[in-house]
Structures are given as structure tokens and as C-alpha cells.
Amino acid sequence: MNLADTIRNYYFSHFDEISETKQFHFCSRLAAWDNDPQALEFLITYKEKYLPQPLTQETLRETLKGLIDNPPAMPTNAAKLRNVYFDKYPWLRGLELALFRIRHWLVIYNVDARPVLFDLVSRRQLIAYKDLLLQDEEGMRFLSTYAVNYIYLLERVVLGHDHADAINVPALARIADGYDTGDVLHLQLLVYYFTHCIIADSNFYEEAILPELLPEYKKMLETLDVVIDTNFKSLSLDTKLEFLVSARICGYRSLVTDKIFEECHASNSPEGTFLIDTHNTFADRDDKKSLDASEHRNVLYIMACQPQIR
């Protein structure tokens, strides 16, 4: 059995040791990527927990309003760079979470709560917020995944704009020219900025990228290939695996694939069969070394090891 399958089996055999949030993340990704039967079964049984009960327009509304008005505390990644922009756009985190919930309800459980969202926040307001973000290039760079996710979820899922012109991908790529490639935090944000353009445009692994956009995304991946190779020990394993998954989505063969997999094979946790950061500057972050905290890194590794099954 290869390492990816061993890790997959380890997580499922220790599933009660990770939080429900991580369980859902793990299974929703694997179900979308390769129709994993255990992941699909979990999503079926989790439906009544993930959807408000009783399922009514009012309970859907209350759930979305709670996400918008009271989002969880902000993550600490690149906090010094990001906090000023989270303060500048105080509704971003809550709206992003609400759009993710709309997406998951719709794609995974076939429950369309978009009309409920529009009762809370109008189409005009949602679009205006997107336009405001796009006019703030520095804000886009530092908010990175949060801004990118919001834009793609709004356009692709909530508004249902599935044509290439709905999102100006070359313009998004030009915004990234402003990152300081001599600063490791900027590099982390750059990798996540480009990879989430790709991941979000795939509707989080559910759909093929539009053929006319593939050349634009491959240009992003070519840039990241050089950035990762040049700064290999300064970037987290999560970051590198996000890149490999994005390369899989686009059919792009990376120059650093073997190098990243070599790091993975040397990064097994002493506490079990899962990957931790041990060979880069993130190796001293003990808060990222538990089975629960390592879920994101490990599901990405599993996905990076095999093509999507559609």
C-alpha cells in the first residue's frame, strides 16, 4: 500500500480523534476528488447536522445570518499583514463563510439557499463588495485566499456565472505582481493567492476548469514553480501541496513535484501515520503537528498523489 492510501486509512481509523469541522473538510474534499466511499458515507450521515433542523427558510436564514454577523476568530497566518485589511473589510470573513455554506448546501446536499441569502444581502451589495475588493490591490494581496474565495464563490456559485469572462483572470494575476518575493510571508500569500484562484474556479474540485482559462492558470503555476524551487525550505508543506493539487487540476507537470514528494516521505509524524512539517522553517510550529491540525496538509497530499476521478 502506498503512503497516500496508508494516510487515508489512518485518518478514517482515527476519525473520532479529529473535530467535526476537520472531518467534514477531509470527506468533502475526498468525495469531490475521487468519490471515496467512506467520505461519501460520512457526508450522507452528516447531512442532518450540517443542515439546520427543522429545514425551513427561516432556519436557513438564521444559520446564514449567524455566519455573517458572528464569524469565528480570524486565523493567525500572516496576521501582521492581514489584520489591517480584515478591519478595513469587516464583513469579508462572515460573507465568505456564508458563501461557502451556500456552496456546500447546494453542491453536496442539493439545497439551494441562494434566495435566502439575497434576502439578507442583496445581489447589488454582494457585487459592490466584490468590486470594492478588486479596486484595492494591496488588500487583495494580503487578504489572499479570503478575497479570492469570496470573488469566485460569488461569481461561480451564487450568481452562477460559468463563462470565462465572468472573472478577469489576467487582471487577478497582475495584482500578484505586487508581492515582495524577498519576504517569506508575501511568498506564502502569493502561493495561496494563485492556488485558490485555481481551486475556487474548479468549484472546489467539483468541475473542470474552462479550457479558455487553462493557459492563464498555467502561467500562474509556472510562476509558482520558480518561487517554490527558489524558496523551498522557507515554505510550508501545506503550501507546496496546495500547489501540487492545483497542478493536478490544470494538468500541469511541475518541476518540483519529485522534490515535494521527497519532503513528504521524510515528514511522517512520530505520533502516527500522517505528515507534519519537519524540513522547513515551519517545523517549530507545534500547534500544527497534531492529527487534527494536520488534516489540511494530509488530505492535500492524498489528492496530490492521484488524478481526479470525474
Measure the CA–CA gap between 26 and 8, rounded to whole angstroms. 10
pLDDT value of position 79: 74
The answer to whether 292 and 269 are in contact (CB under 8 A) is: no
pLDDT value of position 75: 63
Q: What is the pTM of this model?
A: 0.96
List of residues 6+ apart from 244 with CB closer than 8 A: 254, 257, 260, 300, 304
Task: For the chain, give every domain's residue range.
Answer: 1-50+194-310, 54-161
- Taking 50 as the pLDDT cut, the residues of the chain under it are none
Measure the CA–CA gap between 206 and 262, rounded to whole angstroms. 28
The answer to whether 251 and 306 are in contact (CB under 8 A) is: no
Per residue in 74-104, is it b (16+ CB within 10 Å) or e — as a string?
A: eeeebeebbeebbeebeebbbbbbbbbbbbb
**Residues for the chain: how many in total?**
310
pLDDT tens for 234-283 read: 999 999 999 999 999 999 999 999 999 999 999 999 999 999 998 877 65
- Smallest Cα–Cα separation from 54: which of 44, 63, 67, 42? 63
Any idea which residue has 446536499 for its cell?
109
pLDDT value of position 253: 92
List of residues 6+ apart from 197 with CB closer than 8 A: 148, 152, 169, 172, 173, 217, 220
